[in-house]
Structures are given as C-alpha cells and as structure tokens.
C-alpha cells in the first residue's frame, strides 16, 4: 500500500510512518499503534494554501488580490480537494475501521478532502516544500488551467445566478442534521431549487452550504 501511495505522490518517504499516518482515518486509530491523520491535515492545509498562493502569483503576475482570492478559495475548497482525491483513487488507500467502511465513510467528500491535505502535510514533513510543490502542481494542473478565462465565483453565488437566469425560484438552504462532537461538528445542509436538490457536509454551516451548492450546480450543468 505504501509503495502505491509513494508512486502516486512521486516521493519515496524516509519516514514511512508519516505516510501511514496520513492515510489513517480517525476511526482506525489504535490499529497497529497508528495515530489519525488529523494533525497532518492541519499542516497540509497551511502548506497547500501557501504553495497555491505562490503558484497563483507566478501564473497571474498582473492580477490583484481581489481576483487572486477567489481563485485560491476555489482551488482549495472541499469540493475541489475531494474531486482530486477521488480522481487519484485515494479512497482505496485509506485505513478505515470495518464498521465505518461499511457505512461508506471512505468515499465521503470531507474524508477525502481531509486525507488529501494530510498527504500534503506528510510530504512537507518528510521532504520539505519541494515534494509538496511538485505533487500539488501536478494534481491541480487541470483545475488551475480551467481558471485562465476569469476568476471563479463561489458556489453559492454561481448557483444563485444560475437559478435567476432561469426563473424566479431561488436556492433554499436547510440544515438537515448535525453530527460529531462539539469541538469538531459536522453540519449537513440541503439546497433545493424547485424539485432539484443536493446535500453537503462541512465543519461549518457556510462550508456545508458551499459544498451543497457546488454539487447541485455541477448536477444541473452537466
């Protein structure tokens, strides 16, 4: 499993435990003495933001912060990260408890996005910025190419404009559930336009709304 992950990342780890930790969901903590990937996710989130900001500055040398900010937010959003994680087959590499695996946790967008950030954190922790930069620029190349025309809009704004262009019905957001402990809640939001709807899950209501909006917009425009 580690060999496959290393090939995927383009980096041979000196400290193999970092890679194993990055691929360990919290439900599998304790199996073989391994910690969860949450600490590496914390590092990876910051490393991703830094290296993506660096890349955007290079790519758009004449663009102001007002344009760079939406580009960055879109590229590092949960839907974007989950989509990349799904595309590279990350779900199959995750260590998840049998019960959570049966419930499909390894395919949840939040789990995939968190695991991708943890992998970036592991790359940085093991080899520094260069291997993390190399992986990010390879994995995100198609998404940053797609931004060349104009800075993207956030999903909620884009979905509202899509709806307004087709009639008077606006998106409606409802919280359909909340789970997790108080220090790490998960909000479950449903967005509806007429008879079409999509669900999103995130650590804040806003994040869950944005994820739901992106899913519904992709569904309506595909």
Tell me if residue 117 is catalytic: yes
Q: Which of the residues 21, 41, 114, 117 is marked catalytic?
A: 117
| Residue 135 CB coordination number (10 Å) | 21
Sheet containing strand 196-202, edge to edge, reads 172-179, 186-193, 196-202
Q: Which of the residues 21, 41, 45, 126 is marked catalytic?
A: 45
Listed in sequence order, the residues at least 6 apart from 108 whose beta carbon sits closer than 8 Å to its beta carbon are 201
| Residues with active-site annotation | 45, 117
């Amino acid at each position: 499993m580690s060999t496959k992950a290393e090939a995927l990342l383009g980096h041979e780890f000196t400290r193999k435990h970092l890679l194993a930790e990055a691929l360990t969901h919290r439900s599998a903590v304790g199996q073989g003495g391994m910690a969860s990937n949450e600490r590496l996710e914390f590092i990876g989130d910051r490393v991703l933001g830094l290296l993506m900001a660096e890349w955007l500055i290079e790519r758009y040398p004449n663009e102001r912060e007002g344009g760079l900010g939406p580009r960055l937010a879109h590229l590092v959003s949960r839907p974007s990260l989950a989509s990349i994680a799904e595309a590279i087959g990350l779900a199959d590499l995750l260590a998840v408890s049998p019960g959570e695996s049966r419930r499909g946790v390894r395919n949840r967008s939040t789990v995939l996005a968190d695991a991708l950030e943890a992998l970036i954190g592991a790359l940085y922790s093991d080899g520094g910025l260069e291997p993390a930069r190399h992986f990010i620029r390879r994995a995100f190349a198609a998404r940053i190419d797609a931004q060349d025309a104009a800075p993207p809009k956030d999903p909620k704004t884009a979905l509202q404009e899509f709806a307004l262009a087709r009639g008077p019905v606006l998106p409606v957001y409802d919280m359909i559930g909340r789970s997790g402990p108080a220090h790490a809640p998960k909000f479950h939001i449903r967005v509806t336009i007429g008879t079409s709807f999509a669900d999103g899950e995130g650590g804040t209501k806003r994040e869950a709304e944005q994820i739901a909006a992106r899913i519904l917009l992709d569904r309506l425009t595909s």
